[in-house]
Structures are given as C-alpha cells and as structure tokens.
Amino acid sequence: MNREQEIAARLCRWFNTAGRALPFRKTKDPYHIWVSEIMAQQTRIAALIPYYEKFVAAFPTVTDLANAEEETVLAHWQGLGYYARARNLHKAAKIVRDEYQGALPKDAQALRALPGIGAYTAGAIASIAFDLPVPAVDGNVLRVFARLFGIESDVLKPQTNKQITALVTDMMGYELPSVFTQAVMELGALVCLPASPNCAGCPIRELCTAYEQGKTEALPVRAAAPEKKTVPRYIALVFDANGERVLLRKRTEKLLHNLFEFPSFDTEQERADFLAALNAQNCLPLPPSRHVFTHLVWAMDGVRANSSAPAPSGFFFAERAALDQFAIPTALKLYKEAAK
C-alpha cells in the first residue's frame, strides 16, 4: 500500500466511525444532497440543519421545488442569507424538471451546467450521491491537502488548486468516492481546523508532512484577500399612524433582487427628504448595523418614525405581525426585529 492509499484508507475508516450523523448523510437522494451542499456554501453545517429539514419537507422533490413560486422558495430560505443560492436552486430545479424528467443528471459536466453549481458542488453531488470519482475541492480540502502534503505555494493560485485536485482525484480511486469526499470534508470540519488543527486526534497524523515538519500553523499559504468596499446605507422604519403596519418595498436591484426591504438610501439627506415628504413624526434613532456580503460591506444607520401619509409609489404598508411572511434579507435582521 503506498502513502496515498494508506491516507485514503485511514480517512475512510475514521469517517465511518467518527463522522457526524447528519440528516443529509442518511439519504442517497441526489436532490437532498444538492440542497444540503448549496446551503453549506455559506452556512455552517450545525446552523443549516433546521433550514435543510424544513426546506426538504416543504419541497420534497425537485419537481415540487420547480413548481413553487419564487417568493415561496425565498421565504423558505429566510435566515440563511445569500439568496442568490435559493434563486439559482429554483432555476436549476426547473431545468431538471423540464430536461431531465425531475432527476438530477448522473454526470458532473451536466451538473456543472446547472445554475449555481460550480466545480466543487458538481464534484460533491457526483461523488456523494452517485459515487463517481469526481473531486470536490473547496477551501477546507485545500487546507487539509496543503498540510498533508506540505504544499507551500499559495492555495488560491490556480496551479496549486490543480495540483491538489489531481491528488484528490488519484486518492478517490482507492476508496468509495462518496465516503472519501465526506471523510476529507469531515476532517477539515472537525479536526484539521483553520486556526488550530487537532493533530493529536487526527487519524492520519503519522502520514502528515506539516505535522512531521512542525508547519501546521504555517500552512496553507494564502495571499491576503483585497479589502472589501464599505458602503453606507440609511434605513428608515416607517410605521403607520397607529404603529400597526410598516413600510416595505420589493427590491429591483441586482443585489438582493426580489427581496423585501425597508426604505433605504445612499445618503442621510435622501432619507431626510423621504421622511419629510411623508411628514414623518416621532423620529428616533436605531442602533447601527453592519453586514458583510461577498464583495462589499453595508454600514447601516437606522431611524424609526410614524407617518399617516399613504405609501409612496413603489412602497406598501405590511402588517407588522405578518413580517415573517416576507423574505427580508439577513442583512436587515436587526431592523426587521425592531419592526416586528
């Protein structure tokens, strides 16, 4: 048995006894595995479980999801954020319904052609659901493999990704792909952690170059990401005269498209003009809030006020008690709670 075979065998043995019993590991339904992978893209596993369970209960099959209205799908995504994932999942479900008779294609290239499915997710679905030897390489896998093989080049560089992808592909061939993929993911999630790997509890410690050479803290090498642009947003919670309803609008912008938000503005002056036009009363400040998107940061400043004017064009008053029915982005969580 060579070193790669030994690593693959130990990892899979370890996973079969120490892997967590997650709800989407009890199924071989490719659609359920797909949903869990999309949710896991920006959400921690422990946090996504209740959302996953509710989502697959509401939409048990690809066709159920495809047949649902986008608003209903977005409402079931509430709390997870990054709504583009839900929109793409919905779009892809329609393609699977119409072009693949409601069953996900058993082919990594065809999976990759679906909206929201990149190389990593295609590899995860192909290997976990269909046992195809297709690698799924994300940040966790890059970290584990950079340490395991003592790779000192920047893991964000395409050549390093290619080198690690080739290693993963080779090693998958020695074991059942579904188990191997999940074993590497699980090692990255539970043992080979970013800040302080638990090498003492690692099943492949004796085979790990970084451990042997004392480089576990130094690897992986990752070039610093460019700083995200911070954009101010001025939010206004405008309640009606008796405080039972609050003003909302449906976003038409690309960012958070079709989600609902409270009136928000680029400048404080625009917000002041808007409130003045509504003859708003009882204007009080709300705490500031920040939200980090993948490419920018919103620095939010909030106020609350009352107005007896009708909703201006493009806005409507929603019952405060019914706010949970509207897909309001996680970015506005603090103001949503204040509006309830």
Give me 236's structure tokens: 């206004």
Beta carbon nearer to ligand SF4, 158 or 214:
214
Beta carbon nearer to ligand SF4, 198 or 281:
198
Give contact residues for ligand SF4 (rule: CB under 6 A).
144, 147-148, 191-192, 197-199, 202, 204-205, 208, 210-211, 216
Beta carbon nearer to ligand SF4, 12 or 246:
12
To ligand SF4, the closest distance from the beta carbon of 187 in angstroms equals 7
Which one, of 339, 81, 130, 100, lies nearest residue 235 by Cα? Answer: 339
Which uninterrupted H or E stretch holds 21?
none
To ligand SF4, the closest distance from the beta carbon of 124 in angstroms equals 20
At a CB cut-off of 8 Å and minimum separation 6, what does 259 contact? 74, 83, 250, 251, 327, 328, 329
To ligand SF4, the closest distance from the beta carbon of 277 in angstroms equals 59
> Using an 8 Å Cβ cutoff, are 332 and 251 in contact?
no
Can 270 be counted among the known catalytic residues? no
Which uninterrupted H or E stretch holds 320?
none
> Using an 8 Å Cβ cutoff, are 269 and 234 in contact?
no
- Alpha-carbon span 291 to 264, nearest angstrom: 14
Q: Where are the alpha helices (DSSP H) in 59-153?
A: 62-67, 70-76, 84-99, 108-112, 119-130, 139-148
To ligand SF4, the closest distance from the beta carbon of 43 in angstroms equals 23
To ligand SF4, the closest distance from the beta carbon of 161 in angstroms equals 18
The CA-CA-CA angle for residues 40, 46, 50, to 5°, reads 85
To ligand SF4, the closest distance from the beta carbon of 202 in angstroms equals 3
To ligand SF4, the closest distance from the beta carbon of 211 in angstroms equals 4
Beta carbon nearer to ligand SF4, 98 or 217:
217
Q: Name the catalytic one among 4, 37, 217, 268.
A: 37
Beta carbon nearer to ligand SF4, 198 or 282:
198
| Three-state SS letters, 260-305 | EECCEECCHHHHHHHHHHCCCEEEEEEEEEEEECCCEEEEEEEEEE
Beta carbon nearer to ligand SF4, 194 or 243:
194
DSSP 225: P
CA 156 to chain centre: 19
Does the N-terminal peptide bond of residue 220 adopt cis geometry, omega within 30 degrees of 0?
A: yes
Neighbours of 130 (CB within 10 A): 19
Beta carbon nearer to ligand SF4, 14 or 34:
14
Residues noted as catalytic: 37
